[in-house]
Every structure is written in C-alpha cells, then in structure tokens.
Structure 1
Amino acid sequence: MDKQIKEPEVLVIGAGPAGLTAGIYAARSKLDTLILEDELVGGQIRDARFIENFPGFNRISGVELADHMREQSISAGVELDEFDSILSLNLTDDEKIIETARFIYRPQALIIAAGMRRKKLPIPEEKQFHGNGIHYCELCDGHLYEGKEIAVIGGGGAAVGAAIALTKFATKVTIIHRSNSFRADKKDQDALFNNPKIEVIWSTKVVGAVGDKILHALVLEMADSSRRKITVDGAFVYIGSSPRTEMYVRDLKLDSYGNIIAGESCETNIPGVFVAGDVRTKSVRQLTTAVSDGTVAAIMAEQYINNLRRGKLYGKSVYN
C-alpha cells in the first residue's frame, strides 16, 4: 500500500525546545506547519528535574515546561506527528523528500532540530546490563532503587542534578567522575557537596560491570591505573551527548563533531533547509539558545517560502 504524501509548507524535525519554538513561530506566521518527532515531545528537557534559568519561571520541572510548549504549539496551529521514525531523506536545492514509517513528506522548507543522543557507557557489559542496572534517565528509572545504593557516572550539570534527585530514593549515591572538578552550576555543586547521602570519587573511570542478570558492581580504574570494585544496585550514566545527524551526512555539511554547519541565520548549505538547537555548530548550548535558534530558523524559513512564491509569480526561481 502506497504511503500518504503530505506537503506542509514547513516541516520541523524534532520536538524539543528548538523544534517546538520553530513550530510556534512558523504556525503563527500562517504557514502550514508540521513537527515530526520519533520519541517523546520535549526532548532532553523532559529529563531535567528542575529548570531555574529559563526566563519567566523561577523554577519549573522539565516535564512541565515541555508540556507547556507542546500545548502552545498545538494552540498555534502546529500538527504533531509523534513516534514516527525517519527511514530516508533526499535534500536538494529543488526539493526536500522525507520518508517516515507512516508518511512521505515534501515540505517547501525544512527545519532540522533533531537534538542530541546520550552517549552510552563505553564498557563491554553495557548492552548486557542496559535496563538491568545501567540507566540513562533518573526521572524514568530512579524509583526502582528505593532504599538501595546507586552510582552516577559523569561530572556535568546533568550528572550533578541526577545525583541530587536520586537521593530521594537511594540510601547512598556515589558520583564517579574522570576529572577532579565538576562542570555544573555552582549552586548545584553546593547542594551536592552538602548532601550527606552523596559521596564523590574523583579522577576515576568506570571500565567494567559485574553481575548475573542484573548489575551488582562496577569496576573502577583509578588515577594511578589501579583497579577496584564498588558494590552498587544500579548506575545512572551522564557522560555527554552526540548530535543526531548521521542521516544528514550525504546532503549537508557537518563539522568534525557531527554538528550541522550553519551560522546565526541557521541556514545550511542547501536553500530551504535550516537547523536549530543542539545539532547546529555553535559554542553555547543552552535551553535559551535552542529557543533562539528555533525563532531564527522559522523566520528565515518564512522568508525563503515568500521568495519562492515571488519567484513562481514572476516565472523564475530566486535561487538559480
């Protein structure tokens, strides 16, 4: 059976803060706008226990903010295609074709806001214990460790925030970091250091895991290259992310880190294709910069579509 073809004026890939903002701006400009998302709407902010640096809210949970943005986008007129994975795409100056599990999309303008993917713990046993002791979301799985001892691996804001949040459930949280300092906000670091349930192991790498069907211990490599085991019931991993850009390598220019190259206008090397959020090459990656990218990308997409309309009106392309 042939798939239905949809031709929105603007297609946004990704329903995180950048994608939702782009959708809101595009829809409010009276453009037929659809957001395509293969997971939960909201992206990585859904994992944030509390957000305290987004203007307008002294404190709000990631889930609440994601839900607010989702509702606002729908109210603006955005159509959402959720839990639909991209199978293939072909991006050229003349056409943009995106095939998913359910539809074929042929938008006039495309905004890529696909976000980041959490890096897996690089040990041989990761696959064996994934979901059976090794986890990547404290909000999703923290409740499984009520009254138990767990480890948090990483040293950024996500790791520090997760360690604090997990003390609601665990009797002890050991945070393991390969460096000798954290990269989290000073306020969060103070909260971590003042929490009696949390122990920090500095300058240490996790190099293995031990258990039967479920995790029982982690193997650590210390700064002097010696190794030891620590007994844990579970481990939560926050060692960074990588951009979800593998499928764009053929058509778009990427930097050495896998980010899509685009300047402050969010325009890529292909006319009509824009990029927003964590997948764009840039130096600062924050919730507010993602929202900024989404705004710019939508405005530039509107200008591109208006130019196309003028070109058709006068019988020529403004991009050839």
Structure 2
Amino acid sequence: MSDPKHTRVLIIGSGPAGYTAAVYASRAMLEPVLVQGIQPGGQLTITTEVENWPGETEVQGPELMVKMEAHAKAMGAEVIADHIQSLDLGQRPFTAQGDSGTTYTADAVILATGAQAKWLGLPSEEKFKGFGVSACATCDGFFYRGQDVVVVGGGNTAVEEALFLTNFASKVTLIHRRDSLRSEKIMQERLFKNPKVEILWNHQLEEVVGEDNPLGVEAVRAKNVKTGDIIEIPCKGAFIAIGHAPASELVKDQLELHSGGYVKVKPGTTETSVPGVFAAGDLTDHVYRQAVTSAGMGCMAALDAERWLAEQDAP
C-alpha cells in the first residue's frame, strides 16, 4: 500500500463551495487537495441554463463548473478524481479513505459534499429507476422526445424540470399535493404560460405502472388527497423532483447535525462541532441553497481554515 497523501487542507466535494474553497486555500499558500467525488461539479453539472450567477446573464451549468475547476487548478489546487468512502475525524491529522485505495491525511478538512435527490420511497418507484423513473430531467429528458411525461413536486426543482422537459416531451403533467406551488413567481409564470404543461393539483403519486419485459413505464397512478380518488395518467417517464437531502453520510456520527441531516456550523462561520473541520454549501445550508451562496461559504471555509491553521502553528 502506498504512503498516505498528506495535505494542509483536504477539500471533499467539487461544487461551487468546494472549488471556491480550493481557490482561496490556494491563494493562502495552503496547497489544498480537492477530491471531487462521484459527481464532479455537483448539482450544477445536471443543470442547463443558470440565470442567477453574477456576471453571467445566462450560462450552462456544466460550463460554469468546468470554469471553476480550471480556476482552482490555475491557482495551484490539486484536483483528484476519487470518492471518499470513509472519514475519521476522531484525531488529527484527520484521515480519509478513497475508493481508489488512496489514504488522505489532512491538518484541516473542508466538507463540501452538497446534497442528493430525494425519492418518494415507493416500491414501484424503485423498480423502475433508470427504466422510466428519474430524478434528473437534464440527464434523461432527451429520451422522451414526443412522449408524455409526469413531474412530481411543487418547488423550484419541479418547475425547472417540467419546463426543461417541454423541450422534448409532447405533454408534461405536473403532479402536486397542494393547490399552489412553492417555486419562485417568475418560474411559475413561465410554467403557467407553457401550452405543453398541465398541472394536477391536490394529488400525490401512489404507484408507477409499467411493463416487466422489458422494464418500462406506461403510466402512473395519483391519489386525490382530498377525496381519495385514484386516477391513472398514461406516460413514458416519471420525474421525481421533490428536492434534495444533504450528503452527510460521511460525518453523521461524528459531527453535530440539524434539520434532517444538515451539518451544523457556528453562526457566522463555517466551523463545525469538531475543531479543524469546516462545512460549506448545500451540506450545511437548508435555507438558501443557491450556487452563489455555496460559493460564498466556500470562500468563508477556506478563510476559516487558514486562520485556524495559523493558530495551531503559533508558538
């Protein structure tokens, strides 16, 4: 086995928070190592148009993340394509184990693992995952050209997915369990004006129906939450868009969490319950959850780590 790879600052995750932390840590001459994870670039790599990134009227999500990665590398950060499968925060230096077999040790850790799509937990949903059931319209929408699809949810994620799918599908039915949407008003206006979209209010998804050989979705069944009546909606694709959950599995038994798994930080900082461990981005933010706020927290985490390391080095 090779010797452990040591760094002053180990950054775990590669979305806006991780890459921004890498830029600032590099400028502080900390020579950070950033481990990208399973989805390099994070959620923005499965987003199309980004219209709220300062300085860019419109930019493609994947393009923005390629630029951020290049920026981090140009500043001197070492970016590694690996996935951290375990992390020991019990003693310093902190130790992380990668899927590649590499052991990483670090004087400080910045966690920027982001969030992952939520699922409804239905047996039929699980059965057809990858065979008509998806949580990523930008990944799979192309496969439904000229087909009818449904989207489940009522927030920004659901409206974004539904609008994107109108580029391919012949009809998009949005199923929402309430009688109003939670998404931004400007997005709601776009949705309501789109002739391809139909909204099924006060309904929740009960079952995905399809063929077994080969596996494929044929319809979904939705229940009226007020009357209990069940209706069947023919479709070839079902997109679950009910939000995201923080990717805190690595630290769930080591750091203080709150609000369903988000890493808790000291107010006004990125400091976690373990000195020398910092958290930024969607992993800790259950309120704003924006790319720009994640980037801002990445900056904060690098500066917090720099100050903390300086205090440890002081005589």
TM-score by length of 2: 0.94
- The separation in 1 between residues aligned to 2:107 and 2:141, in whole angstroms, is 43
Q: Quick one: which amino acid aligns to residue 238 of structure 1?
A: A
Cα deviation code 1:106-135 (max 9, x no counterpart): 111100011001012321112210010001
Query: How far apart, CA to CA, are the structure 1 residues paired with 2:194 and 2:110?
Result: 43
CA displacement at 1:308 relative to structure 2: 2.1
Q: Which amino acid aligns with 1:305?
A: L
Task: After TM superposition, list the pairs within 5 Å mapping 1:231-242 onto structure 2.
Answer: 231-242=234-245
- State the 1:85 CA deviation: 2.5
Distance 2:97 2:113 in 1: 15
Q: How far apart, CA to CA, are the structure 2 residues paired with 1:7 and 1:64?
A: 31
Secondary structure in 1 matching 2:262: coil
| Structure 2: tracts of 5 or more residues without a match | none
Structure-2 change in CA distance of 1:94 and 1:16 (3 Å):
same
The secondary structure found in structure 1 opposite 2:49 is coil
Residue 85 of structure 1 corresponds to which residue in structure 2? Answer: 83
Query: Within 2, Cα distance between the matches of 1:16 and 1:124?
Result: 31
Equivalent position of 1:166 in the other structure: 165
Distance (whole Å) between structure 2 residues aligned to residue 71 and residue 179 of structure 1? 43
* CA shift for structure 1 position 281: 5.1
Work out whether residues 262 and 281 of structure 1, in 8 Å CA contact, stay in contact via their aligned partners in 2: no
* Shift in Å, 1:93: 5.2
The aligned counterpart of 2:106 is 107
CA distance in 2, matches of 1:6, 1:246: 23
Work out the CA distance in 2 between the residues paired with 1:99 and 1:268: 21
Runs (5+) with no aligned partner, structure 1: 315-320
Q: For residues 287 and 139 of structure 2, what CA distance do their matches in structure 1 show? A: 30
Residues 134, 236 of structure 1: 8 Å contact kept: yes
Aligned to 1:318: none
**What secondary structure is seen at the aligned counterpart in 2 of 1:108?**
strand
Higher strand share: 2
Contact 2:92/2:107 (8 A) holds in 1:
no
The aligned residue for residue 93 of structure 2 is: 95
Identity %: 36
**Counterpart amino acid of residue 248 in structure 1:** V
**Which one of 242, 248, 265 corresponds to residue 262 of structure 1?**
265
Shift of 1:33: 0.7
In structure 1, distance between residues paired with 2:189 and 2:259: 35
Q: CA deviation at 1:282?
A: 5.2
Supply the distance in 2 between the matched residues of 1:249 and 1:23 (Cα, whole angstroms): 24
- Which residue in 2 is equivalent to 1:208? 207
Q: Does 1:153 align with 2:152?
A: yes
Distance in 1 between residues matched to 2:219 and 2:286, nearest whole Å = 38
Query: Which residue matches 2:301?
Result: 297
Report the counterpart of residue 125 of structure 2 in structure 1. 126
> What CA distance in whole angstroms lies between the structure 2 residues aligned with 1:284 and 1:93?
32
The correspondence of residues 1-320 of structure 1 with structure 2, limited to 5 A, is 2-82=1-81, 84-92=82-90, 94-102=92-100, 103-212=102-211, 213-223=215-225, 224-263=227-266, 264-280=268-284, 283-310=287-314, 314=315
In the alignment, is the contact (CA less than 8 A) between 1:93 and 1:272 conserved in 2?
no
Give RMSD over aligned pairs.
1.4
Amino acid at match of 1:99: Q
Letter in 2 for 1:159: A
Partner-residue secondary structure (3-state), 1:7: strand
In the aligned structure 1, how far is the partner of 2:167 from the partner of 2:259? 40
Give the aligned residue type for 1:258.
G
Q: Which amino acid aligns with 2:125?
A: E
Count of residue pairs brought into register by the alignment: 309
- Distance in 1 separating the partners of 2:48 and 2:175: 20
Distance in 1, matches of 2:300 and 2:222, equals 45
